[in-house]
Structure 1
Amino acid sequence: MPIDAAKALAAEPRTGEISWTPKDVLLYHLGIGAGIPATDPDELRYTLESRLHVLPSFATVAGAGSPGVISGLSMPGVEVDLARVLHGGQSLTVHRAIPPEGKATATSRIAAVHDKGNAAVLVLRTDVGDPEGPLWTNDARIFVRGEGGWGGERGPSARLDPPAGEPDLTVERPVREDQALLYRLSGDWNPLHADPEFAKVAGFDRPILHGLCTYGITLKAVVDTLLDGEVGRVRSYDTRFAGVVHPGETLRIRMWRQEGAVRVAVSAVDRGDAPVLADTIVQHA
């Protein structure tokens, strides 16, 4: 079996040093659509180094996106075909504000391996901290088609009860035709997001947007509209990737206020509101 669950879980964590600069943060913000309108003071918080606020989802690419989904596929006990891999979900816990520039230690390991029958799900956990203490924890849920069925534990369901009533706010965010090409410069070089021939091998008629790009676009929308633009209020952010986004489409982002949280659902306007992000929740102060 290409995935040896016992070996993957028993493997020693990988630890490495990562660093980032304001340039990396600015590039990430542009990659998730910040800067429109270019002179809007609210957008300049994301695009001008002299007043830079770091959106917490930057944690998913800090250090040029490593360790990340692709690095998780090189862990001991894991040997899979990249064309069978999809990013199934992502959770982020922010322990304190991410500085615009920093150096930190990232420790990553396979925290769980679930057998979904027709697929396997790997949970890659990365803890990041600096000399002042923990910064953030990322959990990437990696969905590998065709690698289940060995009799392992199915794992918990990521499904939440749908939010009640009409959303408190709905916004739409256009995705640029070149959004995936720009976003991949932050470190996710998977050819699925750029190479039409590779996309066809993976079962798509054309390259798709990174799930983590949609993840960032969505968090920015929540922060900008319901959290008064205050990035420091975000405590955690969890989502399940329910469908693909094609560059050039428009995202519809529905938000429901809850006590200390915002529930979110994201769909593709151009494809009859096809689900994109589901079971999504932003916990906040």
Structure 2
Amino acid sequence: MGELDLSLIGKTFGPFEHEYTFKDLIIFALGCGAGTDGITDLDYVFEQDERGFKILPIYGAMLAEAYEVSKAMDYGFNWDGALHWGFDIKYHKPMTKTSGKLKTICVLKDIYDRGPGKGCVGLNEATTYDAETGEKLFTNESMDIELYDGGFGGPKLQVAAVEIPERDPDFEIEEQIPLNQALIYRLSGDFFKLHADWEYAKQCGFEKPMLHGLSASGFACRHIIRTLFPGQPERITRFKVRMSATLYPGSTIKTQIWKMGENVIHFRVVNTETGEKHLNFGLVEWK
């Protein structure tokens, strides 16, 4: 473990500008599994769809994990052990423009110590605006775990876990992750070689390149929207989730959904063969 630069805590980074067109939105949705059968969730990947082209809301969460953002907030951790751990994004205004420019400002809120051999967790808050109108679109609290950088004596992370009921889920949606899914998702800007380089993945202790946590979250997001408010992704107001286990392309997953009240559900994503929970403690709210 190297020495962490704790002086970066509380500092603001950015603004980071992100210019996009409908092609970027389509590539992102493809990276989250839309349209793998040529028809399901076609409205995310076909700009001429008669129902109207839709933007997958998880696109907003991707901005806090962009490569240039991560590099700017590098506080001295070992990149070999860097993984996305979870996020909680709140949507202030739907993102509906199919092209434009976004501006994201990030604050490194804290670095939590999980103890020797358990790593640390960096918490950042990213606020994204429409750079052309100044409207605030979403605020994302994002957590990254650095597996090899624990034991520096920092504060402990207190996590308010979302309750997952013990009863059977109200809905289950099953889907297989294509073998090339991580290679597609990385085109949206996350080029960390852990998702593509087989030898590097093995050196880091993994069986093979893993799927990005945001890609897996995109699968869940599509499942939830299609089940509860189909064709209306702009209704979502919050998406919160924890990445709890490695997910490899080729796996078959199911999103389990529990209705918890008016326009709120809890969810998790499990492996259909092993029962392993890849995404857990999930919450979605909509209007």
Q: What TM-score, normalized to structure 2?
A: 0.90
2:8 is the alignment partner of 1:8: yes
The equivalent position to 2:264 in structure 1, one of 256, 261, 284, is 261
2:253 is the alignment partner of 1:251: yes
The match for 1:79 is 76
CA distance in 2, matches of 1:195, 1:132: 39
The match for 2:197 is 195
Judged with a 3 Å threshold, the aligned counterparts in structure 2 of structure 1 residues 258 and 10 are, in CA distance, closer, same or farther, namely closer
Structure 1 gap ranges (5+):
none
CA distance in 2, matches of 1:147, 1:170: 37
Q: Contact 1:173 / 1:250 at 8 angstroms: preserved in 2?
A: yes
Judged with a 3 Å threshold, the aligned counterparts in structure 2 of structure 1 residues 10 and 30 are, in CA distance, closer, same or farther, namely closer
Displacement of 1:70 in angstroms is 4.3
How many equivalent residue pairs?
A: 277
Q: Contact 2:267 / 2:281 at 8 angstroms: preserved in 1?
A: yes
Residue aligned with 2:223, SS: helix
1:113-163 deviation per Cα after TM superposition (whole angstroms, max 9, x unaligned)? 111113111012211112241011122201011312222211221423322
Judged with a 3 Å threshold, the aligned counterparts in structure 2 of structure 1 residues 97 and 76 are, in CA distance, closer, same or farther, namely closer
Judged with a 3 Å threshold, the aligned counterparts in structure 2 of structure 1 residues 73 and 232 are, in CA distance, closer, same or farther, namely closer
CA distance in 2, matches of 1:81, 1:70: 15
CA distance in 2, matches of 1:121, 1:278: 17
2:223 is the alignment partner of 1:226: no
CA distance in 1, matches of 2:44, 2:253: 20
Residue aligned with 1:2, SS: coil
The match for 1:139 is 141
Displacement of 1:14 in angstroms is 1.9
Residue aligned with 1:54, SS: coil
1:43-72 deviation per Cα after TM superposition (whole angstroms, max 9, x unaligned)? 3311211321111101133xxx5x526445
Displacement of 1:236 in angstroms is 0.6
Tell me how large the CA RMSD over aligned residues is. 1.8
Q: What TM-score, normalized to structure 1?
A: 0.91
Pairing 1:1-285 to 2, within 5 Å after superposition: 1-5=2-6, 7-39=7-39, 43-50=41-48, 51-61=52-62, 65=63, 67-68=64-65, 70-75=67-72, 78-98=75-95, 99-117=97-115, 118-130=118-130, 131-259=133-261, 260-270=263-273, 272-285=274-287
CA distance in 1, matches of 2:29, 2:215: 10
Residue aligned with 2:8, SS: helix
Q: Contact 1:69 / 1:124 at 8 angstroms: preserved in 2?
A: no
Identity of paired residues, percent? 26
1:198-218 deviation per Cα after TM superposition (whole angstroms, max 9, x unaligned)? 101211021111111000010
Judged with a 3 Å threshold, the aligned counterparts in structure 2 of structure 1 residues 77 and 186 are, in CA distance, closer, same or farther, namely closer
CA distance in 1, matches of 2:82, 2:73: 17
